[in-house]
Chain A
Amino acid sequence: MKTAILKYNAGNTQSVLFALERLGAEAVVTDDPEVLQSADKVIFPGVGEASTAMAYLRERKLDEVLRNLQQPVLGICLGMQLLCRHSEENDTPCIGVFDLEVKKFQSPGGNLLKIPQIGWNNITGLHSVIFEHVSQNAYMYFVHSYYAELGPDTTAIANYVINYSAALQKDNFYAVQFHPEKSADAGQSLIESFLKL
């Protein structure tokens, strides 16, 4: 029962690793394709900039590895955005598991919008097995300037000026825009449910 955390140039891998350790899970941080492919679960974390991260992944063919994984995969924050089709952040083509565009938050006419969104926001419309023990309207910790639009794969919604995808799911791919590893008990429950898949 091993979880692989993808090591790349935009990871908050240490925090994710510690969160798994708090749950007693066995985890490794790796960029070895074979270890990733043979792991029971893969977590694709991320804090950083899209084009730099994608360039790094492409160079090592890790984008292909990620796209073809068969086991449950959890993308977090930038990891979620990179699993989408394309990001406005430096016009970056992404991995394309989710057929969604990642856009930058825009100030509504004349009003000052603080970007990035930093802090706790509530998530609604939850319908994914990873939310089994998370209550509707639970608060999660977000830090981001870009968001994935809503689509058929949306499994949770958050609002910051507009409604956007707080979580996505398609087949074995799960993704969350917030940081479950930093979202207190609610985030911990989500990680626990993912590990039990």
Chain B
Amino acid sequence: MLTKRIIPCLDIKDGRTVKGINFENIRDAGDPVELGALYAAQGADELVFLDITATNERRKTLHELVTQIAKHINIPFTVGGGIAAVEDVSVLLSAGADKVSVNTAAYRNPQLLNDLSKEFGSQCIVLAIDTRFEDGDWFVYLNGGRVKTDTRTEDWAREAVERGAGEILLTSMNNDGTKQGFALDITGRLSRNLNVPVIASGGAGTMEHFADVFEKAGADAALAASIFHYKEMEIPDLKNYLYQRGVQIRF
């Protein structure tokens, strides 16, 4: 059976992990390669590296980092953050990334999804959507959640899949950072109605939240950052819990 995936997300700035991560068993918690390798060893099913560097050096440092990650980590990983052109993706995939995620640039220029999927195949194109519930529905936000649009999340997700997105990474801004659980309704709506995998993000606080998003919302994968980084939850414990609950999981 295909298993549900647990995906730690690492924010990267200038080639280093962001946030005050505290791990005693690795030498340099600011090193994305070492932290990623630790998660891989603990049983993470995939990794997401989200680059938030805003400098002109961005492309170069990201390319070097992706090469280092690919050299040292033996599970799949996705790279995202500011990707706007076919050439960006070409460089990252040839450096060893398995997938790339696109967000604002794809919304501004949806043809990018057609171009990327034709060039590289849908399987390596992840569409990230930041969404917020307001006035009775879920809407798409851009630029890291700073810019509101009038587009319903379900409409954009459906169009993106038709254009060639191979996976949807859905982050609920209402839930993100609350530790009160994932957004089950919108995650479920997308997961049930789209024929591509949906990765749920935002709101993970307890192991039960993961079970809920898999069992109740039918998510294919769940992504979390701070609960893993701050060791509020260990991946082996989470997987053991899910296994006991009867969720299909790799262990």
Interface residues of A (CB under 8 A from B): 12, 14-15, 18-19, 21-22, 47-49, 107, 112-122, 139, 141-145, 159-160, 179, 181-185, 187-188
Contacts and interface: CB of A to CB of B under 8 A. Distances in A.
Contacts of A145: 123
A117 B2 contact: yes
* Best-buried of A21, A48, A139 by chain B (most CB within 10 Å): A139
Nearest to B221: A119
Interface in B168-214: 192-197
Given A116-B123, A119-B45, A182-B74, 17 more contacts: A47-B124, A113-B195, A114-B195, A114-B196, A115-B195, A117-B2, A118-B123, A119-B3, A119-B197, A121-B1, A122-B3, A143-B76, A160-B2, A182-B76, A182-B98, A183-B75, A185-B74
24 contacts: A14-B94, A14-B95, A15-B96, A15-B98, A18-B96, A22-B72, A22-B74, A47-B123, A114-B196, A114-B197, A116-B122, A116-B123, A118-B123, A118-B197, A118-B220, A139-B3, A142-B2, A143-B98, A179-B76, A182-B98, A183-B74, A184-B74, A185-B74, A187-B74
B236 interface: no
B121 A49 contact: yes
Contacts of B221: 119
A142 B3 CA distance: 11
B195 A112 contact: yes
B71 interface: yes
Contacts of A22: 71-72, 74
Given A182-B75, A187-B74, A118 B167 contact: yes
B195 A120 contact: no
B96 A141 contact: no
Contacts of A21: 71
B250 A48 contact: no
A120 B96 contact: no
A14 B95 CA distance: 7
Given A112-B192, A119-B221, A184 B75 contact: yes
B166 interface: yes
A37 B167 CA distance: 39
Interface of B: 1-3, 5, 40, 45, 70-72, 74-76, 94-96, 98, 121-124, 166-167, 192-197, 220-221, 250
A14 B45 contact: no
Nearest to B95: A14
Contact of B220 (A107, A119, A181, A183): A119
* Best-buried of A19, A118, A120, A182 by chain B (most CB within 10 Å): A118
A118 B220 CA distance: 9
Interface of A is mostly: mixed
A60 B250 CA distance: 41
Contacts, number: 85
* Best-buried of B3, B96, B192, B220 by chain A (most CB within 10 Å): B96
A114 B123 CA distance: 11
Contacts of A181: 74
A184 B94 CA distance: 20
A78 to B, nearest CB: 10
A14 B96 contact: yes
* Best-buried of B2, B96, B195 by chain A (most CB within 10 Å): B2
Given A47-B123, A183-B74, A119 B2 contact: yes
A182 B74 CA distance: 5
Contact of B70 (A15, A107, A141, A160): A15
A196 to B, nearest CB: 18
Given A18-B96, A113-B195, A120 B3 contact: yes
